[in-house]
Amino acid sequence: GESVGLHLPTLSVQEGDNSIINCAYSNSASDYFIWYKQESGKGPQFIIDIRSNMDKRQGQRVTVLLNKTVKHLSLQIAATQPGDSAVYFCAEVPTGGFKTIFGAGTRLFVKA
Amino acid sequence: EAGVTQSPTHLIKTRGQQATLRCSPISGHTSVYWYQQALGLGLQFLLWYDEGEERNRGNFPPRFSGRQFPNYSSELNVNALELEDSALYLCASSLASGSAGANVLTFGAGSRLTVL
C-alpha cells in the first residue's frame, strides 16, 4: 500500500554533532512534504515543510532536502541538542491534499 | 490560545465493548483528522472531517466511525473492540481545506486506548 518509509529506525548522535534523518517516499503524486517531531507523551509537532518545486529549505538549525528523482527526503539538524531527542516523522501530502501520509518514524537519541 | 484537546487521556476497555474518543480543534480550524498510532509504529490515517462532513477514510473496518459537530469538535467511535485496536489515537486539526496552511496539522496529545 501507500507508504512513506524511513531508512533508519533509530539514530544515536553525540550532543553538538549534526544529525541526518532520511526518508524514502513511494507516492510520486505529491506536492508537499512535512517533517514532524514527536516527543514522549505528546502528539507530533510541525518542524519544517517543503514544496515539490523546491529542493532545499532551511529553518532554525534544521534543513530539509528533497530529491524528487530518487523520491528521497532528509532532515538535517545542526548542533544536535538533548532537546532534539524524539521520534521524527516525514509526511507526504499527495496532490489534492486529501490526507497526510506518515512514515514509520526515526527515533533520535542525543548522547550528552 | 488552546491547542487541540483530546479526551480521555487513557481508556481501558475489554474486547467487544465500544469506545468513544473526543477531540476539540484549535479555534478557527474546521478540519479534523484522526490517526491511529500503534506502539512503536507510525501514524495510520483513519478519518478526515471538514465542515461537518466526512471527506476521506483510511483503510479501517466500518466499526471505526466518527462525526464532526457544528462547533467543529469531533468524536471517534470504535465498536466491537478487538485486542489489536489498542493504540494511541491522535486527533489533529487544520485550517479549512484549500486555504493556505491547510496541509499543516496541529496534533493533540492523543488518547491511549487499551483493549483487554
Quickly list DSSP for B44-112: EEEEEEETTEEEEE-S--TTEEEEE-TTS-EEEEE-S--GGG-EEEEEEEESPTTSTTTT--EE---EE
Q: CB under 8 Å to A73, separation ≥6 — which residues? A: A22, A23, A24, A25, A33, A35, A50, A64, A65, A66, A67, A90
Higher pLDDT, A3 or A65: A65
User: Residue B60: pLDDT above 80?
Assistant: yes
Topology adopted by domain A4-107:
Immunoglobulin-like (2.60.40)
CA B73 to chain centroid, in Å, comes to 10
CB contact under 8 A, A43 and B92: yes
- Enumerate the residues of chain B whose CB falls inside 8 A of the CB of residue A103: 42
What is the tens place of the pLDDT at every residue in B9-28?
999 999 999 999 999 999 99
**Boundaries of every domain in chain B:** 5-99
pLDDT on residue A19: 97
CB contact under 8 A, A102 and B106: no
pLDDT on residue A31: 85
Please state the rounded mean pLDDT for residues A81-94: 93
**For residue A2, what pLDDT band results from cuts at 50, 70 and 90?**
very low
What is the tens place of the pLDDT at every residue in A51-67?
999 999 999 999 999 99
User: Residue A29: pLDDT above 70?
Assistant: yes
Please state the rounded mean pLDDT for residues A23-49: 90
- Enumerate the residues of chain B whose CB falls inside 8 A of the CB of residue A45: 107
- Enumerate the residues of chain A whose CB falls inside 8 A of the CB of residue B4: 43
**Boundaries of every domain in chain A:** 4-107
Among residues of chain A, what percentage have pLDDT more than 90? Answer: 67
Topology adopted by domain B5-99:
Immunoglobulin-like (2.60.40)
Mean pLDDT estimate for chain B:
93
Give the cell for residue A20: 541526518
Residue of A52, A57, A99, A101 for testing the chain B interface, max B β-carbons within 10 Å:
A99
pLDDT on residue B1: 63
Q: Which of A17, A21, A18, A56 is nearest to A37 (CA)?
A: A21
pLDDT on residue B100: 67
pLDDT on residue A95: 77
